[in-house]
Amino acid sequence: MFQIKLSSAMRRVLMAREKIARRNPFFASILFNARLVESEKHQTIWTDGINVYFNPDYVKANDNFIEGDVLEVVMHAAMQHVGRRKHRDLERWNEAADYSIRPLVHQFFRQHPDLHADDGKYPDKAAEEIYELLEKKQTAALLRGRAPTERACLHPSSHRPIVPHFCGIQYRTVRLLSLVIIAYPIRVRGTDGVGN
């Protein structure tokens, strides 16, 4: 009998996928369209706007946060953050995109505690608006003679890579996703819904 041997990291991510999908049909629809790919190209979990890539060492070291981290990259894909970047600076755009989706992710699953600290900083704002605010903030800081130290995209223990967790690969516009978003409004859960 032919059997496919899965790595422990792949098994963990598959388990996360099941858990996430069970929480909301919208998440399920985007997750099951993405391929799960084990890779050591970057240090964490990331997306090219279509698939979900994960570093096995990161998965092993961050067991408590895998559902949250997978959901975050899946939301980047669903919100078309790769294609919406356009001319914008990659690192700042990545940071803005994170601010725009993490509060929602945290209504369903936990991430590293430091990533929860920024929730509510930019309520109800699109990544483009947040990007502009971050840009203004940096310009003001430079005029004052010091660069801002905030780098929300980087994990404190440095397992958030300098290379952001989505790459600038050309993203196929999936208009269907917008319909799915409308069809499956995401239920807002109370704080008792946090965790996995």
Which stretch in 31-39, 55-63, 71-79, 116-124 sits in contact with Zn ion by CB under 5 A?
71-79
Residue 48 or 98 with smaller CB distance to Zn ion: 98
**Nearest distance, CB of residue 166 and Zn ion, angstroms:** 7
Which stretch in 12-20, 35-43, 72-80, 107-115 sits in contact with Zn ion by CB under 5 A?
72-80
The torsion angles phi and psi of 147, rounded to 5 degrees, stand at -80, 145
Residue 9 or 82 with smaller CB distance to Zn ion: 82
**Nearest distance, CB of residue 24 and Zn ion, angstroms:** 18
Residue 8 or 157 with smaller CB distance to Zn ion: 157
Alpha-carbon span 95 to 134, nearest angstrom: 9
Q: Are 45 and 69 in contact (CB under 8 A)?
A: yes
Q: Count of residues binding Zn ion (CB under 5 A)?
A: 2
Which stretch in 8-16, 53-61, 70-78, 118-126 sits in contact with Zn ion by CB under 5 A?
70-78
Token pair, residue 11, equals: 């098994």
In the bound state, the residue with its beta carbon closest to Zn ion is: 98
Applying the rule CB under 5 A, the residues between 79 and 98 that interact with Zn ion are: 98
Query: Environment class of residue 36 by beta-carbon count within 10 Å: exposed (0-12), middle (13-18) or buried (19+)?
Result: middle
Number of H helices, E strands in the chain: 9, 3
- Please report, as a single letter, which amino acid is at residue 41: K
Integer CA distances (angstroms), 142 to 43, 138, 175, in order: 30, 6, 39
Residue 48 or 72 with smaller CB distance to Zn ion: 72
**Nearest distance, CB of residue 75 and Zn ion, angstroms:** 8
Residue 67 or 72 with smaller CB distance to Zn ion: 72
Alpha-carbon span 66 to 59, nearest angstrom: 7
Q: Which residue has the tokens 């929480």?
A: 23
Q: Which residues are at the interface with Zn ion (CB under 5 A)?
A: 72, 98
